[in-house]
Amino acid sequence: MAYIPESELIINPNGTVYHLNLLPEHISDTIITLGDPERVAKVSRYFDEIEVEVAKREFITHTGYYKGKRLTVISTGIGTDNIDILMNELDALVNIDFRSREVNEEKIKLSIVRIGTSGSLQETVPLGSHLASHTSIGLDTLMAFYPLEQTGEEQSITAKLQQELALGFRPYCVSGSQSLIQKIAFDMVPGNTLTCPGFYAPQGRVLRGGLRNEQLLQTYHNFRHNGYMLTNFEMETAGYYSMGRILGHEMLSLNAIVANRITQQFADNAEQVIDDLIVKVLDRI
């Protein structure tokens, strides 16, 4: 097995991994992730016992027990660049030996469930819905740097979207874990989630900065390919699904729909919609 040098896998003087500040024994193989660092305590307040509390930058981690099951909850901050860090470091914690700096022969498969907020792209996905991302399309460039394998159908969807948006790069499309969908999201709205590299112009929002493509939101809304349509957008899911495929982990992204961009509404009970999703996930995970 190849030795991974000190500059590639950075281990802090106390033995923790560089950004997450965690030791291998700090995490469960079942993980809930959240964008908002303040949302971590909103999950762990339901735990019977909290065993680990670690904080560094936007990565806040609590590990504890919910009804006897050991769970880790961790925040990521916003964007797929953070998902690159999170997924590589979580994978290193379970699949790389920190002493020998070699990849373990036997791999551990993590189950990772994102609980996030999201904006709807269709009238038929109303405010307050809980939507499970069956697939996700990334409009960010993270996958320009990894050897992601995609099916022919995934490639034809993104080729069409690239053409309709007149983008100078090819988006990427990946699916979530069927087993996690069946276990946790069986009664949620099934969706195809667009992961954007920004909250404003990439999601068609205009304050003072303007938009290069004034039809952007309508193009997302109207996009169709062999029955495939986009249902919602946010800023991490495609990063999770692609890194999960590359590293061999089970991934599911769940979305509390707090905005509807077509009807131009924002939920006045957003916190309740998120809390209901948290409780649902804790009871099913």
Per CB under 6 A, 64 contacts ligand R1P = no
Nearest CA to 204 out of 193, 190, 219, 192 is that of 219
In order, the DSSP letters of 159-194 are: HHHHHHHT-SS--EEEE--HHHHHHH-TTSEEEEEE
Identity at 147, one-letter amino acid code: P
Residue from the set 113, 185, 235, 257 that interacts with ligand R1P by CB under 6 A: 235
By a kind-dependent CB cut-off of 5 to 8 A, residue 73 interacts, out of ligand R1P, ligand URA, none, with: none
Write out the binding residues for ligand R1P, residues 164-223 only, by CB under 6 A.
199
CA 74 to chain centre: 12
Which of ligand R1P, ligand URA, none interacts with 236 (beta carbon under 5 to 8 A by kind)?
ligand R1P
Where do contacts with ligand URA occur on this chain (CB under 6 A)? Answer: 117-119, 199, 203, 233-235, 258-259
Q: How far apart are CA 19 and CA 25, in angstroms?
A: 16
Residue 119 partner contact from ligand R1P, ligand URA, none using kind-dependent CB cut-offs of 5 to 8 Å? ligand URA
Q: Is 34 among the residues that bind ligand R1P (CB under 6 A)?
A: yes
Per CB under 6 A, the list member of 116, 138, 171, 204 interacting with ligand R1P is: 116
Query: Among candidates 174, 134, 176, which has minimal Cα distance to 150?
Result: 174
- Min dist. Cβ of residue 237 to ligand R1P (A): 8
- Closest to 180 measured CA to CA, from 66, 29, 74: 29
User: How far is residue 71's CA from residue 48's CA, in Å, rounded to a whole number?
Assistant: 11
Nearer CB in complex with ligand R1P: 28/237: 237
Q: Which of 35, 138, 171, 239 contacts ligand R1P by CB under 6 A?
A: 35
- Which listed option, ligand URA, ligand R1P, none, makes contact with residue 258 (CB within 5 to 8 Å by class)? ligand URA
Helices 237-247, 80-95: axis angle to 10 degrees equals 30
Which span (7-15, 48-56, 59-67, 230-238) binds ligand R1P, by CB under 6 A?
A: 230-238
CA neighbor of 101 nearest in space, from 4, 24, 23: 4
In the bound state with ligand URA, the residue whose beta carbon lies nearer, of 59 and 233, is: 233
* Cβ atoms 204, 131 nearer than 8 A: no
Size of the site for ligand R1P (CB under 6 A): 10
Binding-site ranges for ligand R1P (CB under 6 A): 34-36, 78, 116-117, 199, 234-236
